[in-house]
Each structure stands twice: as structure tokens, then as C-alpha cells.
Chain A
């Protein structure tokens, strides 16, 4: 996973608001819906997602970039939404936890995998783990056990001791990763998630 602060450091077009200007208009695609939003320039991306969009599945565990509960996909990359300002998300494509399951409630294969492995307990951290797993399997459909541990080490869970979460990712490799590997060998247009589509 990339350093969550990389993005905010490198991409700042909308952030360069004229001095004194406290709101900005941004255009952002969230879970396949594109819309304009007038936002406070000081608003964090996580607050924008939770408060302005009402997508409360993205959780705030520490608000200082350590726990990973607020992880979302931004242009396909896992980022900590508490460490980014919403203005930085201008002209990006975001996937949150709400964007994964089918409208009829059918779980996404990664969610299904965590369900089958008894992945979580209180599940406050679950959305962050699911999104991190998705970013991992999108870039590496068949990770080793050690790679899984390493990639997930940026997300904290206080309930499980991680055992069932790691099992869940291993199951997700079967249900999702290997499907992606096959897909990537043939065509790239049949992706199951919106997160990696180019903005």
C-alpha cells in the first residue's frame, strides 16, 4: 500500500484556493455517481464522505492516520480518508464500502470471504480492512501469506487478533483474486469494482 500521505503531497490543484476562500466546488465520482459538491476547504475527505454524502460505512478510529478504519479507494489506491482534505479529491473516483455489494444485498466476493472466515467481531475496523484487501488483490491477485500480513499491517483491529481476518483474505484470494488474475489475463474491461476504473 502506498504511503497515505503521498497523494495529498503530490496532487493539489483544487487545494490551491485563493487566500481567504473557505469553500470550493469539487467534482467527484463516488461509488459510480458523479456530482459537484460545494465544500469547506478545511474539511477532511472522511468528514465529506460521512457527513456530506451520508456514507457512514467509512469509520473514523483515530483521525490521525494510524488505524486504517477510514480506508477508501481513491483512483484505485487505498488511502486514509482522514488524512486527506476533501478538496484533494477533486476530479477523482472514490469507492467506499457501500460501493461493493450488489443493490440486492449480495455480498462482494471479498465481503463474502470475510463472512465465511468469521472475519470480524465488532466490525468497526471492517470497512477499512475490506478496502485495503481490495486494493491489495487488485494489484496482487495472489499474494503470499507474508505479503497479506504485511499489507494488512496498516489496519488495526482490537477484537480478533487478526487470525480470522488473514483467513478471510486467503479466502478472498480464491473468491476474488484468482478471478481477477484470470480476468487480467484475458480482458481488462470486466472489473467487478469501480475503484480501479480510470477517472
Chain B
């Protein structure tokens, strides 16, 4: 297991700065100067010289064979430079082959453009390159495709129907993954129960919908062939390597020839690979090798593709450099690599010129990322007194047609599995997981990709409480891990440390909610025909979680988790922090500068955060996601800055002929404690290092870095949400008179930024419950392709959201816990529970998350259900 760097550093350091000048303050955002004045650089703002524009021609059919494609009219249009179809892309690229498959999973092998058939509305069939985006879109209108429609799969019931042919014929059926895990003695536990309650829950499909759509600019230097790929991405290094392995298309022989004559490349790669394999030996050994053998058995082409990909990548002449400056939101969606990315770069390389693609909103709604569509049947074994013994759960997840790259539903279903028991003491747990294919857009990670475990569990606990005539809060408290049970262990494996304070957040929420007073108000309101309700939901979130968290999700997948952060003293005395993180709204430039400035005794403006350039940032495949920016990236900034401080002071000690232990840094000036008049600056130190010929590089005097994974064996962010609702049975509209979040993420780096993350997440939960739905009709025709159909909540729909912070002091340093995803995890169950509470006297039971006005009226019996 990885040792906790935090603990080591805490013990080893004798020269830590006085903490807390900036950390803990709601420091105003460094990003604002450029972003509020319109001077940001989002990908649509990037216009290299001579750039031309791309548009995709997409399938209007949900499922059809492509019989023929006629490009003549499109190509004849003035301004059209080229059109590529699947046949070209087969020639120019390697297909997406499974990089991270699970045992019992079939991962389709597919190209950036549809080759023989289309599998969902919006499936890209051709890319048109033209002198302007308008002309490219005009040409798309002129492409003539002859289709032969095929039977569609619209939902998991159809996907399970063996009479409907497989969307991916190399698989026997539309079931792509099936697995089962049992923890504890499930049979015995259920036999011992006084009651077994069973319910099936169904969540609708929603979409991430950042305000900036997807897009990229493949910039090619026509002389050198150098590739700079500007992208709206969460993970530039991931994108870089997938672009590299997808767009290099040589024969294996050619690649080997190139390698043979380029010993340097071979040596460098060999050394890198050896280091990685040695360091990650234990993690990698946990991977289940049957995954690859099963995959290859079903689709032998996988092996050939993977093999060629490997040699092509090794022998590549040019790896793209990926650059991203400002990114307009993502919520997970830009952590996936797009099929369009590979096609765009392939076209640009083929034309040897820069090409830009900015998708429109309808494309984003159709295939920019969709999520959450799953059904779960849960059985709860309970005692008369409300003790919960165990859960049995069956999950079916509808991944749509093409798996997202690189993370897909196989992994997400296992995240749901790991977290479903929540902060509760279960004796046993059984999870059956199934992932199916359908003729819909990509299911990808959306803000807490496992969130429906909390929805189903917290919804079900309310139902169990009602059945047992116990209050929902009492039932939760009775079964939750409290201080007396910690440290402990989830039934699925992950360790729980003393800072797992879910129970404390619930206690505080109960106190804030004042239930007795609410019950009086609720009864009074009902006498005048008003339906008030209250709902709770509690969860703990691995942000980043303990050492053994990923072990419980999917052994071996933690090989890429540790994050390198570089701290640099420039030759001019400036300080830079280099991160693999890619901020897209989380305000890293502010928070990381707070952390570094405190460590180094300098001002926030004296720290430059370097990100979003694969040529100039440390390697890391995850970028920003998984609520890791605070805990992992932030911890890394703390300790790399501390290391830099030590190196600066060592140098200053020589310069000043003083003992390093006597030195301090205040406002960027290094001096002997108590003698502020005699001081040296960072520039003096940089000059001294450089003049000795010891500069780290042509640009920098000192470079140092840490590789960091987590602070101690905890990393749980905990929270309880409470929602109050007022349900109008005339109209079916629900208002939220009050919403409270009690959360504990440990020490906050910047409270205003933490609160922004929480409120934003809750708003998306409110949207998902009442407004947002990605709709396909019974033939998988896409029905929600504009913002008039897919309703994003506005300022009118989102209420005030009150936040209470517990900020439990952690036992280890830099134990910041992530808050990016939690808001959206806790809100749907709290809202659903509140609505059911308001309508309970009508016998209403809520098993579908989506509650638009018509559904409310149907549930309440005001109108007849369809």
C-alpha cells in the first residue's frame, strides 16, 4: 500500500511555515480578471492561421445499415475542401479498442465515424471540412445516404429480449457486462430478517450539459508537421495519448523500422515502461487477465488492433501536444475522449492543415454525454426494531450504443456496487450488475457517476421506515456508523476512519430541521389543502477515499491515481506550480495559489499555476475529475511547495551564512528570524543558483516535485441534505421553500469556492428531478435536441440553498476532501423523499426519480396515469 506522504512530511518537517494566511479564506478568484472581461480563451476562441472548419454529418436513424453514401453534391459545393467517411477513417486511424475492460465484459471495437451501420441518432457518418462552418453545415445537407433501417433497442427490457438482434453482432446479445458480488453471509442474513422489503427504482436519462459544448482545434504546422491539439477537455494527457494511439497508422513493419533507426526513442520508452511496470507491479497484478482473453475470444480483431496500436504508438513520428486554456464546464463529459477528436485530427493530418470543430447544442444534447439511466431492484432485510441487516440489489445500466472512452458503464456499475451500502452497518450485501447496449447516445461519467446508489438507498430507507413506522431519521441514525463504530469498514471493503462523519452531519441536519415544529406546520397546512413535505439523504463520498477504495471497485485500477505536482523557482525568482489538473470552473488558480503562497510566504499574485499543456505539465491521466482537485492536487501543491521552500532556504542559508533553521520567509523576503532588515529575495536565490551553474533548466533555477495520492487512510467527504417541498396539486408544480446541506469536507481551502461547488451540484439535482430528461421515443428517435426540450433550471427554479459546514479538524495535514460531486449525489433522494413525505397520506410511493408536474399529478391521483 502507498504510504501516506502527509504523515511523513508532517513528522519530518521542522521548517514548516506559519500556516493559514490564505488557506481557509474566501479569497477572491484570480481567474476573474480575464473571465469577467471577456478575455478568456475557450477553445472556440482559438483561431490559428489558415484554419478551416469542420462539421459532422450525423445519422437521423437510430439503427440502420449504411448501404451507400453519395458525397458528390457536398463535394461540389464552393468552399468544401474534403469530406471523410467511415471508409477513410478505417484507413487513417486505429479503432477505439478496449483499454480498460472488466472480466465478463464485452467492449465493442469501433471507429470515430460509423463504418457499416449507424447505432443512434447523431452517430457521426462523415466529417466535412470547408472554409467556414456555415459551408461545412451546408454541405452536410447535401450528403445523400441510403439506409436500411434495423430493429431498435430503446430500453433495457428490449436489450434483454433475445429475439432482438445484437447492436454489436460480435457479442451474442445486447448484454455487454454481467457480474455478481456477494459480501458476508447473504443467505443467512436474509433468513434471519423479520421483514424483507423489495422495491424497483428507475432513473431517467439526463445529460451533463456544460454551457460550452465540445470542440477542438487541430493545429498543424504545415512545415514541421508539429501537432498542437487545442481542446475543451478535463484530461489533456489522456486525450494526448488516445489521439496518439488512434491516429498513427503505419504497418507494424514500418513502425519497427522506424524504431530500429531511432534508438533514442526505444531506449526512452523502454526506461519509462520499465519504471512504470516496476512501480505499479502490485497494482497491475490485481487486474483480472481473463478480461482480455474473453474480449479477444469474442472479437479476435481486438488483438490485431491493440498490437498495431502498440507498435504504431511506439514508432510514432509525432505525438500531439494537447493544450487547453479556459474550459466552459464539463461535469464529467469532457473527461471522455470523443470519437470526433480522433476524426478531426485524422482529417487535419491528412490535409496537413489546421482544422477547427465546435459542435452545436443539438449535437451536444444528442451525444455530448448522457448518464444515470439505470434500474435497480433492492431488497432490504430488516428486523422489527429497525435494524437493517443487508441489501440485495440488481442493477441494469443502459449504456447506449458506443461505450465512452476510456471509462464506461462496467466501471461505473462497480462504483455503484462499492458505495451502495453507504455509511450504514450492513452484515451482508449482494450486488448483481448488468450493462446493456441500446440505440442511444453515450452514457458517460456525470458528476458522481455512482450517484444512484445514494438515490436508491436513501429512497428505500424512507420506504422501510414508513413500513416499520419508524421515523426516517431515526432509522438512519440507528444503522449508521457513528463515532463508536470507527474506525470501521464498509461491508464492501473500504476502510472508514474516524473522520467519516456522516452521522455528525445527520445529527446537525436533524437539529437544523426542527422536525417537531415542521410536523405541526405540515398538519396545519394540510387542513387548508397545502401539501408540505420534508426529506433527508445522507451519504459519504470517496473524495478521494482510503487506500483500499479502488480495491473494492475494481482491483488494479488505482495504478494511475497518484498525482505529480511540480514546484518551480524561475531564473527570475518567480514561483510556478505545474499540475496535470485541468480547471474548468473549480478555481484551481485561486486555491492552488492560496496553498503555495502560504507554504512559501509569498503573495497569491506571486504564484503562477501552469496547467493545460502536455508539453509543460506533469503527466497524469485523470486531469480534473472525481473530486480530486482539492485532496490530491491540493495536497500535492502543499507538499511540493514545501519542498521548494526547503530548497530555497537551503540556498539562502549559504548566501546569508546563516543556519537554515533560523530562516523565515515573510512577504517573499528571506531573513533570519528577528532580523528583518537583512533579507534576500527569491530572485537573489535564483541568481545564486544560476551563477553557480546549478540551474535546473534553461528557464528555471530550481525544480522539484512530489507524487501524491492522499492524506491518511480516510478521504471521506460526508453530507446530509434536507429538502422541504410545497406540492401544488392543482398544477403539479413543486416549490422548495427551504434547502439545507450539512457537509464535512474537513478543512476548506476557500469556503466560497466550496459552497459554489455544493450549490451548483444541488441545482443539477433539482434539474434532474423536476426538469431535465433526455428523451427517446419507442423507436429510439431522439426527442430532446434543443434547450426548449431539455430544460436546464434557471434562476427562477433554484431556491436559496443553506450550507452548514462541520469542518471537523483532520488528524493528518492537508486532508482536504473533495466537494465537486456531492451536491448532485445528495439532492435527488432528498427531494424525492420530501415529495413522498408531502403526499404520503395519499398512499404515494415514489420509485421514479423524474417528477415533472404531470407525474406528480398522476402519482397523487389527480389525473390518470398514461
Chain A residues with a Cβ under 8 A of chain B: 42, 50, 55-64, 66-67, 69, 96-98, 100-101, 105, 107, 111, 114-116, 118-127, 130, 148-150, 152-166
Contact = CB atoms under 8 A, between A and B. Distances in A.
B211 A115 contact: no
Given A60-B44, A69-B211, A130-B36, A116 B28 contact: yes
Nearest to A154: B794
A42 B134 contact: yes
Contacts of A130: 36
| Most chain B beta-carbon neighbours within 10 Å: one of A116, A126, A163, A165 | A163
Interface in B23-38: 26, 28-29, 31-33, 35-38
Given A63-B360, A122-B585, A124-B211, A160 B763 contact: yes
B585 A61 contact: no
A163 B37 CA distance: 21
22 contacts: A56-B44, A57-B40, A64-B788, A98-B37, A107-B36, A114-B36, A116-B28, A118-B29, A121-B586, A123-B32, A123-B328, A127-B38, A130-B36, A150-B796, A153-B795, A156-B787, A158-B209, A158-B210, A158-B764, A159-B329, A162-B794, A164-B759
B209 to A, nearest CB: 6
Interface string B577-602: 00000001111000000000000000
A64 B763 contact: no
A153 B759 contact: no
B786 A64 contact: yes
Contact of A111 (B37, B42, B328, B788): B37
B37 A149 contact: no
A65 to B, nearest CB: 9
A161 B752 contact: no
A120 B31 CA distance: 10
B38 A162 contact: no
Nearest to A168: B36
B749 to A, nearest CB: 13
Contact of B760 (A105, A148, A159, A166): A159
B81 to A, nearest CB: 18
Contacts of A126: 35-36
Contact of B787 (A66, A107, A164): A66
B762 interface: yes
Nearest to A118: B752
Given A124-B326, A130-B36, 16 more contacts: A56-B41, A66-B787, A115-B29, A115-B36, A116-B28, A118-B28, A118-B756, A121-B585, A121-B756, A124-B328, A156-B794, A158-B209, A159-B756, A160-B759, A161-B763, A163-B756
A122 B786 contact: no
Interface string B754-768: 011101111110000
B753 interface: yes
Interface residues of B, number: 55
A121 B360 contact: no
A59 B42 contact: yes
A161 B760 contact: yes
B39 interface: yes
Nearest first, the 8 closest Cβ-Cβ pairs linking A and B are: A57-B38, A124-B328, A161-B763, A122-B585, A97-B38, A121-B585, A66-B787, A161-B759
A113 to B, nearest CB: 10
Given A122-B327, A156-B787, A149 B796 contact: yes
Given A121-B585, A121-B586, A158 B38 contact: no
B787 A56 contact: no
A114 B29 CA distance: 10
B840 interface: no
Nearest to A121: B585
Given A124-B328, A153-B794, A58 B788 contact: no
B792 A156 contact: yes
B158 to A, nearest CB: 32
Nearest to A98: B38
B212 interface: yes
A111 B36 contact: yes
Contacts of B211: 59, 61, 67, 69, 122, 124-125, 156-159
Contacts of A96: 38
| Most chain B beta-carbon neighbours within 10 Å: one of A50, A161, A165 | A161
A158 B792 contact: yes
A50 B39 CA distance: 12
B484 interface: no
Contacts of B358: 60
A138 B476 CA distance: 52
B361 A63 contact: yes
Given A67-B787, A115-B29, A123 B40 contact: yes
A119 B795 CA distance: 13
Contacts of A114: 32, 36
Given A121-B585, A124-B211, A124-B212, A164 B38 contact: no
Contact of A124 (B329, B360, B759): B329
Interface in B780-837: 786-788, 792, 794-796, 798, 800-801
B333 to A, nearest CB: 11
A165 B39 contact: no
A115 B759 CA distance: 18
Contacts of B39: 57, 98
A123 B326 CA distance: 9
Contacts of B788: 64, 66
A195 B864 CA distance: 52
Contacts of B45: 50, 56
A28 B640 CA distance: 52
A163 B28 contact: no
Contact of B801 (A155, A156, A163): A163
A57 B800 CA distance: 29
Contacts of B794: 152-156, 162
B201 interface: no
Contacts of A153: 794-796
B331 interface: yes
Interface string B300-341: 000000000000000000000000001111010000000000
B786 A123 contact: no
B210 A122 contact: yes
B459 to A, nearest CB: 22
A24 to B, nearest CB: 16
A152 B39 CA distance: 22
B615 to A, nearest CB: 24
Contacts of A42: 134
A97 B37 contact: yes
Nearest to B757: A121
Interface string B190-215: 00000000000000000001111100
Contacts of B29: 115, 118
Contacts of A123: 31-32, 35-36, 40, 326, 328, 585
Contacts of B755: 163
Contact of B585 (A97, A119, A159, A163): A159
B792 A124 contact: no
Nearest to B823: A161
A155 B796 CA distance: 11
Interface string B207-240: 0011111000000000000000000000000000
B33 A105 contact: yes
A105 B33 CA distance: 8
Contact of B795 (A59, A121, A162): A162
Contacts of A152: 794-795
| Most chain B beta-carbon neighbours within 10 Å: one of A148, A149, A158 | A158
Contacts of A154: 794
B361 A115 contact: no
| Most chain B beta-carbon neighbours within 10 Å: one of A62, A96, A98, A107 | A62
Nearest to A66: B787
Contacts of A62: 360-361, 786-787
B756 A160 contact: yes
A167 B464 CA distance: 41
Contacts of B329: 121-122, 124, 158-159
A96 B38 CA distance: 9
